[in-house]
Structures are given as C-alpha cells and as structure tokens.
Amino acid sequence: MGRLRKEMTEAMKLRGFAPRTQQSYLAAVAALAKYYGTPPDQLDFEKIKSYLLYLTDERALSWSTCNVAVAAFRFFYTEVVGWEKISLPIPPRKKPKTLPVLLSREELERLFACAGSPKHRVLLLTTYAAGLRVSEVVNLKPADIDSHRLMIRVEQAKGAKDRYTILSPRLLSELRHYWRMYRPVFWLFPSSRDPQRKIGRSGAQKIYYEAKRRAGITRGHGIHTLRHCFATHLLEAGLDLRTIQSLLGHTSVTTTMRYLQVRSQQLEAKQDLLDLLSPIPLQPPQ
C-alpha cells in the first residue's frame, strides 16, 4: 500500500486533517487490505460492506471505531481512488447516547492521594481542576501557566483552537511546589526517560489507572473522567453553561448540556474545585 498510502496522506494533509485523524484513517484502510490480502483499490463495495459487518457483528467493535472506519473508507475511495461519492452509500452509525460516569469527591480525594509520585499527583490535579483533555494536559508548557491572570493557556486543542481555562489559587500553589521539586524546562510534564520529551497520552492514562487501582476505585473509565467531573462540579457550583462551554472548548453548548443530566443539587455557592477536597500533604519525590 506504499503508493496508495502516500497519496492518501497527501490528500489528508491538503485538507488539513489532524495528525491523529490521518493515523486513524490510514490504519483503518490498512486493516481492510490486510483482512482480504488484497490492495484496497482492488476491492469492491460488497467486500467493503462485508468487512464492516465483520467489524460490527463478529468483532463487536464500538460505534466510534466502526464510524472511523466508515469515514476512512469513504475518504479513501472517493478522494484517492476516484469513485463517485454515491458509489459508497455507507451511512454513519448512530452514536449511542450515554452519560458520563463521575467520581464522588471522596473518590477524587483518594485518587489524588494514591498517585505514585508528586509529579503524577499534580498531573491528575491539573487535569481535573482545569478540565483538560489528556492530549491537552500532556502538551502543557510552564509558559502556559499565567499566574497573574490565574489562567491556563491551552494551545491548539481539539479543532485546532486555542483557549484559556481557569487556574485556581490552590492549583497554582501545587504547580509552584511541583516546579521547585522537578524544574521542568520545556514541557510541564516531561517524560521520565527523556526530559526533552513530553509524557505521552498513554503514559498519562497509566498514571490515572494506577492511582485508581491503588485507591480501590472501580467505577468510571479513563482519565477523561476527571474532565467530566470538572464540568459537572462547576455546574453544581452555579457556573453558567456558556462559561463552562468556553472553559471546556466545546464548539456547541449542546455538548455541554449533557452535564445537566448528571449534576446533583448539593452545592449552592461557587467554590474553588480543589477547595472542595481535603488538603493532601505534599510528599518529596521518591
């Protein structure tokens, strides 16, 4: 698939596709070719349809994974191979409507306390208290922390958009203590193997899962759970939807509105999110 891969990559770059989208599309088409043992441009619609049925029925892959494959095939065959768009009438699957699973405040306290090191603890605290995606927290630089305005700059986030989110006084104090201990230079959370490189998304996920295991927490999914908690807790504290939408970087307020369905009515006043948790003693690095 050498020539086809090159042509597909160039076509995606010309259309401004994000690097992760390019990787996902290429992987989907490569998997299709491997399944049949045939170059993908030699397959017909019936074989593509059969492969999609295999993904959904036999492998029981998630809606999002199957939908990426559908989008990748539609792009490849119409934009690279040159099929007429109507020749590939594969509708996108309907995404199931699910509500985020949240951690209680007591579980959050345990999670942060059970982090493997002060660095890991501050990474988790920052993800929660600033409402960051995992890709955003690993891309933070020390220069993104605006201590004077109490803001965190999130650079080129999802949708290639910059935004600002909140920096609470307590988180600022935690970050300052962390900086004095580790002295990060370019990346706020550098790789433990190479200080010149940032920690990877999978590395951040492992930090979360390990802290979750130590804390004995079985509910919820990956580190994105902390972003869900951020949005819901701000909503419960009385912050308006439009402001939360801006802090999260959602394009549509409809995306933010789903947190209305999971909030509780326990909080009546706006408070610093981290101040809702019990103070956790700082520990020296191991």
Q: Tokens 């049949």 label which residue?
A: 36
- 125/121 Cα distance (integer angstroms): 6
241 in the same domain as 160: yes
pLDDT at 85: 73
Helix/strand/coil for 263:
coil
259 in the same domain as 181: yes
68 in the same domain as 112: no
Is 286 within a domain?
Answer: no
Is 283 within a domain?
Answer: no
Domain boundary among 38, 53, 87: 87
- 113/124 Cα distance (integer angstroms): 10
218 in the same domain as 127: yes
CATH of the domain at 46: 1.10.150.130
Is 97 within a domain?
Answer: no
CA-to-CA dists, residue 198 to 140, 158, 203, 218, angstroms: 9, 18, 10, 28
DSSP 175-202: HHHHHHHH--SSSSSB-SS-TTSBPPHH
Spell out a b/e string for 8-47, using b for 16 or more CB atoms within 10 Å of the CB, else e. bbebbeeeebeeebbebbbebbbebbeeeeeebbebeeee
169 in the same domain as 118: yes
259 in the same domain as 134: yes
Q: In what order do the strands lie in the sheet with 151-157?
A: 145-146, 151-157, 161-166
Which burial class, exposed, middle or buried, applies to 181 when counting CB atoms under 10 A from its CB (0-12, 13-18, 19+)? Answer: middle
Is 284 within a domain?
Answer: no
Helix/strand/coil for 44:
coil
CATH of the domain at 183: 1.10.443.10
Instruction: Give the pLDDT of the chain (286 residues) as one tens digit per residue.
Output: 688 999 999 999 999 888 889 999 999 999 999 999 999 999 988 899 899 889 888 898 877 788 899 899 999 999 999 888 755 555 555 666 777 888 988 999 999 999 999 999 999 999 999 999 999 999 999 999 999 999 999 987 776 688 999 999 999 999 999 999 999 989 999 998 888 899 999 999 999 999 999 999 998 889 999 999 999 998 888 888 899 999 998 888 888 888 887 776 544 444 466 766 655 555 555 5
Is 124 within a domain?
Answer: yes
Is 285 within a domain?
Answer: no
Is 178 within a domain?
Answer: yes
197 in the same domain as 78: no
Provide the annotated active-site residues.
Answer: 133, 158, 224, 227, 250, 259
119 in the same domain as 255: yes
Give the range of the structural domain holding residue 24, as residue numbers without chain letter.
2-87
Domain count, the chain: 2
47 in the same domain as 155: no
pLDDT at 264: 63
219 in the same domain as 124: yes
Please say whether the beta carbons of 111 and 125 come within 8 A: no
pLDDT at 286: 52
- 157/132 Cα distance (integer angstroms): 10
pLDDT at 276: 60
